[in-house]
Structure 1
């Protein structure tokens, strides 16, 4: 925990598309509550992700007491790019469909007024972040899971589809990818070993869950300076289908075809595979991922 000055002025970043358009409603309630509590609020809404990132960066550089995000994990990802290693606290008003960051830090979901109270009454906690370096040298910060393999192939396909709309598009993409399931030849470089494996997916976790509570890295600790790695070895479709329900409880790691590792630094290589972090596209493998201790300061009621 770090020393905290009073929260007197905040910048609120609102994602209007979060939670199927619920972002603005949650934002209005949170902003009204913050002002009611005597906090000066500056609202920013980017025209797109790049614009929002620039506005958030400007707010951090301008000395805002906190950068508050109204939205889901994608919106929080924008804030992480601006606030990582800056010392500026991040506040969360969950308004997305997944809200894995909020769950990780004990932020009330579905109650923007209560979440706003955490920003005023909570304490600044320190948390690790994952720093992803692509082969072109660009850097992306992540708070929860870096996903690759079957789940990223499903997302790639869903992003190429124009029908159906909503969650069913991803479900259809998953069914299509299941029919095309094949082993993915991964090289996973850890601090003390190199693993070559035919895998279905490899997930690297700074935190435990992605996709709205799927605990793909159930033992990850966001304050231990290490990354958790979950490798699902290639198997038959029926085995993969049986595995998925167990991911919500984190018991899939007990299966014989699931291997787990812990490492400060991880390099993933697999031809033709894209990495996603906090639900957003990062770029093609190979990528190098490092745990950076205390890179995030976040307003929370619960110790990080």
Structure 2
């Protein structure tokens, strides 16, 4: 192993139900043992993170996200903006972007990747909210029932981690009302009643659900998965298919690919990205979701 790189490890202390602080210790030790200079900071909040990332990138450090997908997305946009290099220590509940990149959770393997891997350019998703705010997301953005499921997950910490997402999905589907969505992908428009629309860069979301089985993180395209409104019981019964990516063969599922997606809805509907709430899409507003090809350099 080479110790030529410097590292700034940014830790979300609540990721994975508090698992992140424990996950960072062995990796930091291995990096230091290899001769690397390592700085560990526990997340003081989004505004402070932006400043920490900017300082680390300017210093030439590899910025390492220690947490889950939400933490990674909050850091990735800042690293991209500064032209920096991102590393991952998976320590959240889902770790779906790490899963997509093939980054393991074994400390020795993670340390070897951080020390020795060559940078790879991957795409990011840029969301423009109705208010004009731009948000960077690494894995996927979703509008509909899965955004509601993400909210339920946050209140299901009393369950074993493996059960939290399936429980939340069933709860969300049981109570969700379909939404009529106006969908425009690269200018091609359609209208349909949906349970959800997912714009995916990564194939995985929801702790291992293979929502977009053919997605590639460096192809410069969004995989847009639209699940039409259907019988709730049928949707619940089809959930196991999502883990294998077999749901895309159902009649209710349409998969499209493109670079810019614009969504409008007939009623207020929740929007989420990588496990984090992104607000509401209200009637009369538009949500723009675009791919940024090769926007982020990452170690994997």
Query: How far apart are 1:21 and its partner, in Å?
Result: 1.4
Q: Residues 55 and 250 (structure 1 numbering): CA distance in 2 closer, same or farther, change over 3 Å?
A: same
5 Å-filtered alignment, 1:265-304, equals 265-270=260-265, 271-285=267-281, 286-300=286-300
Match of 2:128 among 121, 126, 133: 133
Unmatched 5+ residue regions in structure 2?
Answer: none
Structure 1 residue aligned with 2:85:
89
CA contact (8 A) 2:62 2:86 kept: yes
Distance 2:148 2:21 in 1: 31
Query: How far apart are 1:176 and its partner, in Å?
Result: 4.5
1:15 equivalent in alignment to 2:8: no
What SS does the aligned partner of 1:114 have?
helix
What SS does the aligned partner of 2:82 have?
coil
Task: State the TM-score, normalized to the length of structure 1.
Answer: 0.89
Residue correspondences, number: 292
Distance 1:220 1:169 in 2: 24
CA contact (8 A) 1:45 1:52 kept: no
Task: State the TM-score, normalized to the length of structure 2.
Answer: 0.90
Render the CA deviation track for 1:215-237: whole Å, top value 9, x for unaligned. 11111111111101000000101
Distance 1:272 1:290 in 2: 21
CA contact (8 A) 1:7 1:65 kept: no
Match of 1:35 among 32, 54, 77: 32
Query: How far apart are 1:239 and its partner, in Å?
Result: 1.2
CA contact (8 A) 1:232 1:257 kept: yes
CA contact (8 A) 1:53 1:81 kept: no
1:211 equivalent in alignment to 2:206: yes
Give runs of ≥4 in structure 1 deviating > 4 Å. 166-176
What SS does the aligned partner of 2:59 have?
coil
What SS does the aligned partner of 1:97 have?
coil
Structure 2 residue aligned with 1:114:
109
5 Å-filtered alignment, 1:1-304, equals 7-60=4-57, 62-109=58-105, 111-156=106-151, 165-166=158-159, 174-270=169-265, 271-285=267-281, 286-300=286-300
Query: How far apart are 1:274 and its partner, in Å?
Result: 1.9
CA contact (8 A) 1:18 1:96 kept: yes
Render the CA deviation track for 1:45-96: whole Å, top value 9, x for unaligned. 1223333333223322x22331011111121112113112432110111111
Distance 2:171 2:112 in 1: 44
Render the CA deviation track for 1:221-273: whole Å, top value 9, x for unaligned. 11111101000000101210122111111110011110111111001222311
